[in-house]
Structure 1
Amino acid sequence: MQNDQLSVHDPDWDAVLALLPPPTPPPASLADARDIWRNVILPLVRSNNEPLLPKESEYRVEDHQIPVEGGQITLRSLIPTPSSTADRKYPLLYFMHGGGRYLWWVYGTIDLDDFFLRAICVEFQIVVVNVEYRLAPEFPFPTPIDDAYAGLKWAAEHASLFSASLAKGFIVSGTSAGANLATVLAHRARDDPFFKDSRISGQLLQIPSTVHPGAYPEEYKAELNSYATLGDPRILDKRAMDDCYGGYPESPSKYGAPPSDPECSPLLYPSHVGVAPAYIQVCGADALRDEALLYERLLREDGVQTKMDVYVAPLGFHHLHRAYCISSDTQG
């Protein structure tokens, strides 16, 4: 089957997976699932990234409360502070955390990637703005997108506040569901006169979700096999995603995005011409692998410059060794 050669595990990853506990039944409620994120996943992610933290003197952290429709959200800025270049200006990376994939934007927090982003802020001397968009189902589609887009505009207008210069680089980025948001923001910004003089210069998409399984285009169905055949029940597979998608009474299957809406499934935009160049990271054994590969191809066919790396790894590698992947590949 097409792309099957990409799903072979590296022996080192097989050894890591062998240490995982057996699969467990899905949480009984969305509240229980969020508790697992807060009390299990978040501490694990932070402990894995803590050894990579730079010295506190090498960067500063500032939280900003910005108004959005119906409330406010937090933008956390991470700003390099090298002692020898006090007046230096930096590129800006606008980042959106993951959380939910096809349970659209229901998990996650600004703290999920905080340690990782502090490390790359200093290593690459880049300003990072991390957005705490509001979550569904309390704030259903398109609120998470609208929040992230409002934050993007605010960051662009206040770049000098972060010691950033958009002329040096203005990148939208995210992981999983956050990467989905990044693709949508890149398309919105392409068509918005607001960004005429502050254009997005790049997209960094980590394990992106790009098309809802209920909206696969007929002409591409033969290429989209990984959702049904890949994944790991101890991490995430089709059964778990299907259970989550329809299993909670309060899930976004009731309140969420229409699968065929391009702002839910960005692969379905009628044209990708003119969006910013994209660097895409894909896991070879991830259930959502094939849609990321197809999305990259469609971008190229519409004249968008792309670079893609496929890792011999399952979903979850980005939380375990993600810093290594970013460090090695963005320099390439």
Structure 2
Amino acid sequence: MYKLTARAHHLAVPHRHQAMAAETSLEFGEHGHLAVPDPEFAPFIDFIDSLPQRSKTDMGLRRKQFEDGLITISKQNYGVGLPKESEYIVKDEEIDVAGSPAGKIRVRTLVPASSEEGKTYPLYVWFHGGGWTTGNVDMDDYQLRQLCVELQLSIVNVEYRLAPEHPTPIIQDDCYAGIKWAVENQVLLSADVKKGFLIGGLSAGGHLTAVLAHRARDDPWFEGRPITGQILQIPALCHPEAVPDEHKSSLFSFKQNEFATGLPAADVHWLYKQLGGSPTSPDVSPFLHPVHAGLPPAVLQICGLDPLRDEALLYGKILKKEGVKTRVHTYPGVPHGFNYGFPNISAAKRWEREYREGLRWILEGAPQA
């Protein structure tokens, strides 16, 4: 699932030398301490170090490795808490996407089961992670089934076409089509966007959420039915080659976590290359959108041992500065996507709790955080 090189033990802060790590972290700015390994996670590093990296030359093999690894682990870990099948309805739908090239994508819908005729629920549209190159609706399927029942949400899980075969803007357009399809099919989904209309995603899915929150804000199609909240989990927000000069001095996590477990900095560069598009385009780097005011309330969840850490923390500050109601949660000493493989450590339990609290906060009208 994760790969951590021997060199990483020194640059991503060695877990066997906590005091030294804390001191070293000072050179990486005000958030450097967040890279000191979590004591509960640190014992797993040697095991993670022994796992093979996913292929970068054979995309078919890479996707199979992802499915056999992370997706299988996710289902094993989250399957323990699955609600009863009688408590929700799950269906796969195929929808058309216009554009160049046109195509079809799959969405998985989850609707709470109710004996009350005509009962409706808030709508939540989800985009999976996987670095734009891997992943599918199975990745977060079990987590979303839990949320469907626990929070009584109608959920649409979008399986967009993948890069590099379908680069920018195809991926973004697929996800946008998924959002519009969900709105147009509220009756089918027993949904009512007036009760809440949220979008969210993890990693690449967090990136897509940020991109589409801007697009929907500026699209008259959503007039009278605006998105009311966004969930940004460990999001990629700014291409590393497009960081504005004024922010370069405050973004240290790419260097500090250069060899971090799960997502080393070199992988981020490689994944952006697969995504395609101009690094400075807001479709690639939503951080660079000229205006963030007017976006829906946002919840950010950010890991300390992640090269994407500091851009997400800065994005949270910018959103607040521009008047967007925003909650920011950090998870010190754990890497990108840690919750899939280590759901029983304290940080993962807090991740799940704060995820649910963030959804409720938005559904309650996002009172000022």
Q: Any unmatched runs of 5+ in structure 2?
A: 1-27, 359-369
Normalising to structure 1: TM-score of the pair?
A: 0.91
Aligned-residue RMSD, C-alpha: 1.9
1 CA distance for matches of 2:39 and 2:138? Answer: 31
- What is the match of residue 12 of structure 2? none
Bigger Cα displacement from structure 2, 154-163 vs 204-213: 154-163
Cross-structure match for 2:18: none
Q: Do the aligned partners of residues 6 and 213 (structure 1) sit closer, same or farther apart at CA in structure 2, a change above 3 Å counting?
A: same
State the shift of 1:328 in Å.
Answer: 4.0
Q: Distance in 2 between matches of 1:179 and 1:115?
A: 18
Aligned to 1:331: 357
1:302 to 302, 322, 337: 322
Contact 1:211 1:264 in 2 (8 A): yes
Number of residues of Structure 1 aligned to a counterpart in Structure 2: 320
Aligned to 2:123: 92
Letter of the 2:104 partner, please give it. Q
Output one character per residue of 1:172-220: Cα deviation in whole Å (capped at 9) or x when no partner: 1000000110111110110111101110000011001100001010000
Match of 1:76 in 2: 108
Q: 1:164 to 1:64 in 2, by over 3 A?
A: same
Counterparts of 1:1-332 in structure 2, within 5 Å, are 1-2=28-29, 3-22=31-50, 24=52, 27=55, 28-69=57-98, 70-83=102-115, 85-100=116-131, 105-230=132-257, 233-242=260-269, 244-245=270-271, 253=273, 256-312=276-332, 313-320=334-341, 321=343, 325-331=351-357
Which of 49-58 and 15-24 deviates more?
15-24
Structure 1 residues without counterparts, runs of 5 or longer: 246-251
Judge conservation of contact 1:26–1:240 (CA < 8 Å) in 2.
no
Partner letter of residue 269 of structure 1?
H
The two structures have a TM-score, normalised by structure 2, of 0.82
Identical columns (%):
41
- The code of the aligned residue for 1:266 comes to P
3-state DSSP class of the match of 1:283?
A: strand
Letter in 1 for 2:130: G
Post-superposition offset of 1:326: 3.1
Indicate the SS of the match to 2:187: helix
How far, CA to CA, are the matches of 1:224 and 1:276 in structure 2? 25
Cα gap change, 1:52/1:26 in structure 2, threshold over 3 Å: closer, same or farther?
closer
Amino acid corresponding to residue 8 of structure 1 in structure 2: V
Could you say which residue in structure 2 is the equivalent of 1:249? Answer: none
Answer yes or no: is the 8 Å Cα contact 2:163–2:274 preserved in 1: no
SS in 2 for 1:145: helix
Separation in 1, partners of 2:340, 2:53: 22
Secondary structure at the aligned position of 1:90 is classed as: coil
SS of residue matched to 1:319: helix
